[in-house]
Structure 1
């Protein structure tokens, strides 16, 4: 667990009205997400234990938990309880984990390392990885749909659209089709807004919708925030693929260049790409003005997402 918050304390994180240092709020959200995910995945009565093992391997242990943290922080900023945020936080991380498992497959990016250890299809085998991803995708919606909420339909729709043919899956298809080809800046941005940005925007919206009605004007501001950090996060990923090392990144460095994939550094140059990420960070922070002090933790998280080395 990448946190100084114990599992026992994780389920007793601060209430929405409490004043908590931003770093503490982020660590508490990460720890709580780890506990909730473990509760969802650590079962002893599964029909196929080997499938459960592959699912656990793909989700538990290491991981930034960025998306569930965004669910918690956005929801807390608008007054939601942590208990109400647990299901959407777990669901969005399961969707993210499934996408990574499938993204690493030989038919996709054919990666051997993820988060500093063998990818699921290397640790188990390719069929197990495919099925683990499939099962995590359906489990995400099972967990979300099983939790009563007055806006449950909107929550399910938000996650489904972000993950599907007009969201993350579309972005991955565009990415695969772009290998070895030239792509202009607008097309590259469109690809990343779907492949990476869609699920980040969904995470923020899931947290917000847990707290308030869809008509609340703060949702639009949070969507601007999420759109900016989603793109900036991907640009920083592109930068780190050039400047980082495999041990620090936890995945193979230089993989994008080896596959001749379009990236921001390849299109703009390294320093202009970094500058673009910082411009987007400024846009995200500006969007949080509507939240006042309640947006402090979201602002701190945005800075962490961009100013990182892995």
Structure 2
């Protein structure tokens, strides 16, 4: 580590680190459709460039550390918890909870905060939702900073829940798959969804929620992260995360078609876009980022050589902060 707090990777590379902690100057819950209330907070410069952090999952929620990807003097930093998770209400609810609902929630937040255009900053499922919003409301998007691209395609779900990531993390897979009978292991999304939603399995629901969440928490970084694993099995977090993810994944993200996001990428022409992707991302492999960049030739694609999926791996974090600084 250098004197200014940055991390040095080698003789030629100095990694940027997160901005100092900043507290919100505003927080509230916004009533939206279907009986939901969305938690929103703002920090940084009220007159700065509006940037909205679009969290992953779906069902992941936000945390204070996510404010620190942005220069608080430059940015009006907006965090919100999507339906059913974090500090939004009702907790872990699947009712009226679809991609279309989340897109309209974002638009409701933009109008409520009287923002003309904003930067969308999203990773993993956050990249999915950012792209879906931008494809519907391109005139409201200042720029896109996307990480760990997930296009909500069947091949991506198959990779993570059937035949891909299990080859890299066999010990974590054995625990995850072993929770259900062998005859159901060819459809783990369906098997877990049943146990996470069916009233007949309510007694065991939390145990399955923790295992669903732990599978992702065990595969998110190149180097095992015990703090991440511990957070993933927190009961409040795990219940929302597992139920909402399984709900979205069994319904194919509620998209019109498997290729919807790539098909509509041309609508984003002219929007400054940066795509940051870990080379060894075991959750969202680089092929999706590559295919997206091919459909968006104006975008800047950065494949980070030594990184997995997490936004907080040093090289990924560095690229994200460089991107917000440059916007």
Structure with bigger strand share is: 2
TM-score of the aligned structures, taking structure 2 as reference length: 0.31
Structure with bigger helix share is: 1
